[in-house]
Structure 1
């Protein structure tokens, strides 16, 4: 799979069986949480997250949570450590995996501010009442995504909906450190409305250079497409459809680890 963002060109090759999808649009069979919004056509938007005082509290609590979790993983960090320098203390993949294990599937009770404040803000953006509770398994979790420079820490291009428990939701990318035009999440605007027949993908989870991923990878796309790298600032949130093709976000910076929070919300049922 080859793709470009501006002057930067990327490629990967995934092993294993591949298939072209059926002539159907998955979003037509699902709850579309972009419907009725000004950004429905693109499938994503960047919005302010919290008021300044609340964000200051959020940022302080994020920092404490990350440092604590990294210390639990055995990383030599203290409360003066610069988050974007993570790659200097987790240079090898085994150390990185130990740290990742401590910063994924975190219970919503550990979210850096009262989660109802996040739910209310994203509900406002999506124009419908949302909750951070997956109806598939009742989980209420969030993750830190930590992408080191010039490493293979990122997922390949994919739709989240290809994993069975991520339908009918909306995704958030909240930048924490090192997120910029060289590191932030890549996506193809409008691809949430594409038929599956436009996309070739791996049948199972991707296998790229010996690294196995849970999610299937896009391996070819019929016709032309445009890849963007939206770059939200601190105290902004990138809100996007899980039906949108995204990922493939290699960290192209020379010396900054990109850290973001990943969390999903579903329509609230009363």
Structure 2
């Protein structure tokens, strides 16, 4: 392996190229001490190992049968409407959740009141049987999985809400920098407003990169002034090829949490992006 170039690491890193458009990238936090050539995935249960897409670390696969996919997306949209109402926003039963940003505006307290509800739901509140998604992900990776975290002893899902031209997205990171997400496999399922200008971004193949190829924060990063629990990339040593796989409304993005991903700025003109995020682990026994 070619040793990292110290001069490259010293260059400022304050912009990302997303589909040919430059966007600001501002991460703060104490830098983690330099690491060796350890590859985190090499010490994990690699749920990508048997997949045809193991090298890239991600795949866009067909979603659930249309009726189930539609029930899921409609039910998740209603969860967001309920969260808005609980935060004091009057929204109709048919409120278009892509217009979320118009309802909350730039009121940080109201937005955080919604996020406090949507950042984690017990799996029992998923609008469809979790086994449907477990079967889909098992088929995609070639190993039986469950939506149950053996490290944290929990079964949850998340709704991610990213307003257009706001810093709602987390920084570039590996989920696996947090021990509770070791050995997992992630999905990103579009609910509303997910487009080629707003969907999740990732760096193909980076799940196989040694830890000394990125400089990151020691603890949770501050990204554009917003604190996150996950560490964030301060600067890479290797060039980053950041892409948006952009699954359609009838598809699901399956990806390794060891990939560098995040910083998915919503560049839509007037549509909030809402997505289901969920993790899976090898089925035990």
For 1:27, the equivalent position in structure 2 comes to: 41
Q: Deviations over 1:114-138 (max 9, x none)?
A: 1111111111111111001000121
For 1:97, the equivalent position in structure 2 comes to: 112
- 1:252: how far off? 0.9
In the alignment, is residue 262 of structure 1 matched against residue 277 of structure 2?
yes
Q: What aligned pairs does 1:176-255 form with structure 2 within 5 A after superposition? A: 176-255=191-270
Q: Deviations over 1:133-180 (max 9, x none)?
A: 000121100010000011111101000011120000001101000000
For 2:169, the equivalent position in structure 1 comes to: 154
For 1:10, the equivalent position in structure 2 comes to: 23
Q: What aligned pairs does 1:88-127 form with structure 2 within 5 A after superposition? A: 88-91=102-105, 92-127=107-142
Pairing partner for 2:182 from 167, 182, 185: 167
For 1:54, the equivalent position in structure 2 comes to: 68
Distance 2:100 2:224 in 1: 24
In the alignment, is residue 82 of structure 1 matched against residue 96 of structure 2?
yes
Say if 1:70 and 1:102, in contact at 8 Å, map to a contact too: no
Distance 2:161 2:98 in 1: 9
Q: Which moved more, 1:218-227 or 1:34-43?
A: 218-227
Provide closer, same or farther for how the CA distance between residues 211 and 69 of structure 1 changes in structure 2, counting only shifts above 3 A. closer
Distance 1:197 1:51 in 2: 42
Say if 2:27 and 2:171, in contact at 8 Å, map to a contact too: no
Say if 1:143 and 1:262, in contact at 8 Å, map to a contact too: yes
Say if 1:191 and 1:245, in contact at 8 Å, map to a contact too: yes
- 1:230: how far off? 1.1
Structure 1 length-normalised TM: 0.96
Distance 2:232 2:161 in 1: 20
- 1:248: how far off? 0.5
Distance 1:225 1:65 in 2: 35
Distance 1:224 1:210 in 2: 25
For 1:66, the equivalent position in structure 2 comes to: 80
Aligned residues: 270
- 1:60: how far off? 2.8
Counterpart secondary structure, 2:104? coil
Say if 1:21 and 1:199, in contact at 8 Å, map to a contact too: no
**Runs of 4+ in structure 1 over 6 Å off:** none
Structure 2 length-normalised TM: 0.91
Say if 1:73 and 1:102, in contact at 8 Å, map to a contact too: no
For 2:7, the equivalent position in structure 1 comes to: none
- 1:78: how far off? 1.3
